[in-house]
Amino acid sequence: ARTDKAGHKHFMAKEIAEQPVVVAEAIRSYLPTGGDRVVLPDTDLDFTKLDRLTMVACGTAFYACLTAKYWFEQLAKMPVEVDIASEFRYREPPISDRTAALFVSQSGETADTLAALRYCEGKADKIVSVINVPESSIARESDIALPIHAGVEIGVASTKAFTCQLSVLLMLALKAAADRGTLTDEELADHTAALRGLPTVLNAALDQDRAIRKSAQRLSEARDVLFLGRGLMYPLAMEGALKLKEISYIHAEGYASGELKHGPIALIDKHMPVVVMAPRDAVFDKTVSNMQEVMARKGKVILVSDDDGIAEAEDGVWSTIRMPHVHTSLAPILYSVPAQLLAYHTAVAKGTDVDQPRNLAKSVTVE
């Protein structure tokens, strides 16, 4: 059955493990075999007719939107605004008729997100949604509803829906880049080849389970945990912190590495674990220098990086989590796996109710 644990201890563990398969399904649905162009199923969206994107969501879906902002800006040179639905709906933001309003929701029923969508009706040029449940209210009320193909998600803490949302949003950004001519054919082909290889690297990330469990054992004794990342890894740092606080009840914050010195550095001492998400990319050296500021104050660094990054920066860190090498654009999807497994194993070590964390609901259909 689709709703049993398939031998896993928790639905969350099962859903984390399913990611290579469901992400492959999402990619197959938007990237026809043999081609390098993203094709939206049963619909079209012409990004040359749009000046701007406004993205709105709650919770984990909001972090997917924040990640997508980097993709749309870098790859398609499109200005993007991102907001949480409960703020957006009451702020009365002006929406131009060359804007696409994009709503991301696993359930498609989140009350604030639905209200934000209704606010955009008659104002935005197109209402687009990225959803997991095709029959949902948000899907039905959109001009274009793009399914993420994650399958039923039961764990309250979203995992596979997040990586499927990211995959679909990246493909949408690539479609925008192709429409607007902001990437060369070669660059597009590079991205699509990397996307097709994503399930394989996701499997390699899952293979790091034992090393991640060791780091989680250490995290389970902390009172506060800081997650740091820069660029595409900044939204993921916030998502990693959200996962940890949702299911382990440890206070966690995600911060942009460069903002460390403007506040959180005051909290660093030998009791403070700091998870640094840092693939060896163009901003790696900057993140490493922030990491060294943490270590100089005796903070305990868990460095999540690839072989090159670890070889370069592991001196003095508390522990490392090794990720396969991946195209820079795809790193937030891949590094979701260690973020999720860290939260999962920490919660298991603490004995909390992983699938049904206290006070949280899977879908928030009231305001």
Which positions touch ligand G6P (CB under 6 A)?
A: 58-61, 105-107, 110, 113, 156-158, 360, 362-364
Q: Which residue carries 């928030």 as its tokens?
A: 364
- Residue 335: CB minimum distance to ligand G6P, A: 18
- Residue 170: CB minimum distance to ligand G6P, A: 18
User: Which residue lies nearer to ligand G6P by CB, 113 or 163?
Assistant: 113
Cβ neighbours of residue 351 closer than 8 Å, sequence gap 6 or more: none
Does 362 participate in catalysis according to the annotation? Answer: yes
Give whole-number Cα distances, 189 to 31, 36, 183, 232, 236, in Å. 11, 5, 10, 21, 25
**Of 50, 95, 57, 39, nearest to 72 (Cα)?**
50
Any idea what DSSP says for residue 70?
H
Q: What are phi and psi of 37, to 5 degrees?
A: -110, 135
- Residue 69: CB minimum distance to ligand G6P, A: 17
**What number of residues does the chain have?**
367
- Residue 128: CB minimum distance to ligand G6P, A: 15
User: Which residue lies nearer to ligand G6P by CB, 175 or 243?
Assistant: 243
- Residue 285: CB minimum distance to ligand G6P, A: 33
Nearest residue to ligand G6P by CB is: 59
**Of 30, 74, 100, 328, nearest to 182 (Cα)?**
74
Q: How many CB atoms neighbour CB 291 within 10 A? A: 22
How many alpha carbons fall within 13 Å on the CB side of residue 331? 28
Q: Beta-strand (E) ranges in the chain?
A: 52-57, 80-84, 99-105, 126-131, 144-147, 224-229, 251-256, 273-277, 300-305, 319-322
Catalytic residue among 5, 286, 350, 362: 362
Tell me, what amino acid is at 34? G
The token pair at 355 is: 């699938």
Question: Which residues participate in catalysis according to the annotation?
Answer: 362
